[in-house]
Amino acid sequence: MKLAYVGDPMCSWRGKALSTIRNRCAVPWSQRAFYAEGRDTTDGRELAAIGAAELQRQGQEVSAAGFFYTWREPATIAETHADFTRTRKLGVSSFPSLLLDTGDGMREVSPGYANAEQLERLLGDALAAA
């Protein structure tokens, strides 16, 4: 079984231009920049600067220009559209959402925000039913 986290729209929205971002999207770097710092994460160059700085902080060699280039590539855009299509097919209607892949299909664990205590209970229920 696998968990699938569907994070905030900025994360799905070409913010995962680099494969390393895909695995770290639940990390609130884009949320912090948008909500706490008031930065415009809808601006591609601003998002690239934020994302590259976060990856550099994690020890990866990524420039803002390289991040922006990848973010704008047709393959990245197509991958993002495919992610949105998959998300819709899964029935996700709110962010964040947590799904459990049981091997026989996806099971909704949390259709929106839940604190750690709630998630523990919800995940236990989902695992017991799987």
Domains of the chain and any CATH numbers = 2-129 (3.40.30.10)
What integer pLDDT is reported at residue 22 of this predicted model?
A: 47
Judge whether residue 42 has pLDDT over 50. yes
pTM higher than 0.85:
no
Which range among 13-17, 29-33, 84-88, 120-124 has the greatest average pLDDT? 120-124
What integer pLDDT is reported at residue 113 of this predicted model?
A: 83
**Poorest-confidence range of 9-18, 46-55, 56-65, 117-126?**
9-18
How is residue 71 written in tokens? 């973010």
- Euclidean distance between the first and final Cα of the chain, in Å? 9
How is residue 54 written in tokens? 């976060």
Q: Name the pLDDT band for 129 (thresholds 50, 70, 90).
A: confident
- Mean pLDDT calculated for residue range 29-47: 85
- Environment class of residue 71 by beta-carbon count within 10 Å: exposed (0-12), middle (13-18) or buried (19+)? buried
Three-state DSSP at 101 gives strand
CA torsion angle for 28, 89, 17, 109 (degrees, to 10)? 20
- Mean pLDDT calculated for residue range 116-122: 90
Is residue 70 a contact partner of residue 76, using CB atoms and an 8 Å limit? Answer: yes
Other residues' Cβ atoms within 10 Å of the Cβ of residue 1: 11
